[in-house]
Amino acid sequence: RTKSKSSAASLSFILDGDDLTRQSATDTQKLINEHFCSESQLLVRTIFHGQHSVGGLLEASDAKLKDELSQLVSLEIWQQSASLARSKQRELLRKTTEIDGMISLREKDEKVAHEKTLLAKIESERRQTILDKARISFKEQEQEIC
């Protein structure tokens, strides 16, 4: 839309390289509305989000949302996409549950291994103490003999 000081506002409409501008701005606007379903404010919501239209689709009822989206994508494609998304979500949830179970098992295995390591360390220290005492005892006996 353009407006100069000396003339009234004018509106141009070029689609795919073709100039579809009509003689009056009103007729051009009507043509734009026909091409882009502007009555539903779909074009406004995809291009400009003013303070009053920003939540339009988010706050729309299910029926209103489906009606708006059906102007861009057939309802069948929308339903197939939603079904595919739900299916993928179930698959990923199943995999997540499986992996969570595996992690839980590995954490238990790690805990058992850690406990065994501590027990082995304690046992090693106990045996080292016995060995050290035996060495001292043997040295004392050796000195007594000599």
- Concatenating the DSSP letter of every residue in the chain gives -B--SSS--B---EETTEE---SSHHHHHHHHHHHHTGGGTHHHHHH---TTTTTHHHHS-HHHHHHHHHTTS-HHHHHHHHHHHHHHHHHHHHHHHHHHHHHHHHHHHHHHHHHHHHHHHHHHHHHHHHHHHHHHHHHHHHHHH-
Quote the pLDDT of residue 15: 86
Q: How confident is the model at residue 101 (pLDDT cuts 50, 70, 90)?
A: very high
pLDDT digits (tens, 9 = 90+) for 51-94: 555 566 667 788 887 777 777 777 788 789 889 999 999 999 99
35 or 117, greater pLDDT: 117
Q: Within 10 A of 22 (CB to CB), how many other CB atoms are there?
A: 15
C-alpha Rg value of the chain to the nearest Å: 40
Q: Are strands 18-19 and 14-15 parallel, antiparallel or unpaired?
A: antiparallel
| Residue 32 contacts residue 38 (beta carbons within 8 Å) | yes
Top-confidence range, 9-13, 77-81, 117-121: 117-121
| Residue 32 contacts residue 13 (beta carbons within 8 Å) | yes
pLDDT digits (tens, 9 = 90+) for 38-55: 555 666 556 555 555 556
